[in-house]
Amino acid sequence: MKQLLTGQQPQAVRPTQKPWSGLVEHYRPWLPVGERTPIVTLLEGNTPLLRAPALEKRIGRGVRVFLKVDGHNPTGSFKDRGMTMAISKAKEAGATAVICASTGNTSAAAAAYARRGGLRAFAVIPDGYVAKGKLAQALLYGAEVLAIRGNFDQALAITRTLAERYPVTLVNSINPYRLQGQKTAAFEVVDVLGDAPDWLCIPMGNAGNISAYWMGFQEYRKAGASRKLPVMHGFQASGSAPLVLGSRVANPTTVATAIRIGNPANWAKALAVRKESRGHFTSVSDGEILAAYRILASEEGVFCEPASAVSVAGMLQHASEIPSEAQVVCVLTGNGLKDPTTALENNQSNLYTNLAPEPDVIAQVMGL
């Protein structure tokens, strides 16, 4: 900019790094793909690990907080990490159609990757409980969306049955390739920090992602790519907290629709993660979730969806337990634009409407 202002010609910058190739190519030796696997990619992964100074100031004691901003993925959520693997492997096996149950993001990711790979995509969703942006994505990507009068858990049960009976490949997180792709997020965190963090804070719905992160951290440590393992802190919304309560929730409720799940598909895996990492599962209220959601946007400039703010709400609830100088990574699973309704209904900003198009009128409203 300075050069431009002084009239000097800017020098072309020679690229020093290869352009990002998508997470399967980048982490190929760590993933179950072969020479002949057709890789279906939208160049997912390589998402920002962003320092969070406002949160650090709230916590103090030299604690360093990082946000893994996975809403930067191609369809706006971490689900893309698993879907590049699941769709590539489905295609390799000769599948022509995939099916998922979804609170929204899985359907958007499945649709995008399936259509790019030339497959049909079916999504079974709970009618009325999928955020607008997610439904819009799934439909525009070309998914065939089946909305049931029921919740996610019922949708998943139906989807499992259909995948057993008909030639459609299930791409929910019980598909093992999903977790393989998702574990790369842990690799990326270690690749940036140089080691695993002390704490990992993450929302849990079906608990596929917490299981995938743990797998990634463990594999890296076994290979000598990191020295330590994080303590895994999994958080659920208090109206949908089966893993915290230790029993199924028949009618889960929460503003965080992405994790409105009463019977997590990866229950046993999640309990193993908690045990092995000496971790903790706790719940946060919808009020705490929305408070964290507003702090992230208005103090850090990061617009995530309510389910993602759960990791920060949980961290803040447990702030006094974080060791001094520790490094904490909060996983922000999805983009805020997915759910404009919640943003419009839960901000504390002023929207002045119906103003006369006059500078004096505007200045007065501005308080000038």
Known binding site for pyridoxal 5'-phosphate: residues? 105, 205-209, 333
3 state SS of 50: strand
Q: How far apart are CA 86 and CA 173, in angstroms?
A: 9
In the bound complex, what is the minimum distance in angstroms from residue 143's beta carbon to ligand PLP?
15
In the bound complex, what is the minimum distance in angstroms from residue 81's beta carbon to ligand PLP?
11
In the bound complex, what is the minimum distance in angstroms from residue 333's beta carbon to ligand PLP?
3
Q: How far apart are CA 187 and CA 251, in angstroms?
A: 36
Q: How far apart are CA 135 and CA 199, in angstroms?
A: 33
In the bound complex, what is the minimum distance in angstroms from residue 287's beta carbon to ligand PLP?
18
DSSP 257: G
In the bound complex, what is the minimum distance in angstroms from residue 353's beta carbon to ligand PLP?
31
Q: Which residues bind ligand PLP (CB under 6 A)?
A: 77, 79, 105, 173, 203-209, 258-259, 305, 307-308, 333-334
In the bound complex, what is the minimum distance in angstroms from residue 229's beta carbon to ligand PLP?
19
C-beta of 63 vs 290, nearer to ligand PLP: 290
C-beta of 205 vs 326, nearer to ligand PLP: 205
Closest by CA to 130, choosing from 367, 346, 339, is 339
Unique residue bearing structure tokens 């020679």: 14
Distances (CA, A) of 362 to 186, 354, 355, 357: 49, 11, 7, 8
Q: Which residue is nearest to ligand PLP (CB)?
A: 334
Closest by CA to 276, choosing from 337, 224, 320, 213, is 213
CB 238 within 8 A of CB 284: yes
C-beta of 308 vs 326, nearer to ligand PLP: 308
What residues form the annotated binding site?
105, 205-209, 333
C-beta of 175 vs 308, nearer to ligand PLP: 308
Closest by CA to 199, choosing from 354, 311, 45, 297, is 311
C-beta of 199 vs 281, nearer to ligand PLP: 281
In the bound complex, what is the minimum distance in angstroms from residue 270's beta carbon to ligand PLP?
8
CB 88 within 8 A of CB 181: no
3 state SS of 122: strand
In the bound complex, what is the minimum distance in angstroms from residue 349's beta carbon to ligand PLP?
23
In the bound complex, what is the minimum distance in angstroms from residue 105's beta carbon to ligand PLP?
3
User: Percent helix, strand and coil across the chain, each rounded to 5?
Assistant: 45, 15, 40
What dihedral angle (degrees, nearest 10) is formed by the CA atoms of 258, 262, 266, 271? 110
CB 148 within 8 A of CB 158: yes
| Tokens matching residue 362 | 């505007």
C-beta of 133 vs 326, nearer to ligand PLP: 133
DSSP 318: T
Q: Give Cα 154 to chain centroid, integer Å.
A: 22
C-beta of 129 vs 326, nearer to ligand PLP: 129
Closest by CA to 240, choosing from 294, 292, 306, 176, is 306
Q: Which residues pair with 36 in a beta bridge?
A: none
The 10 Å Cβ neighbour count of residue 210 is 30
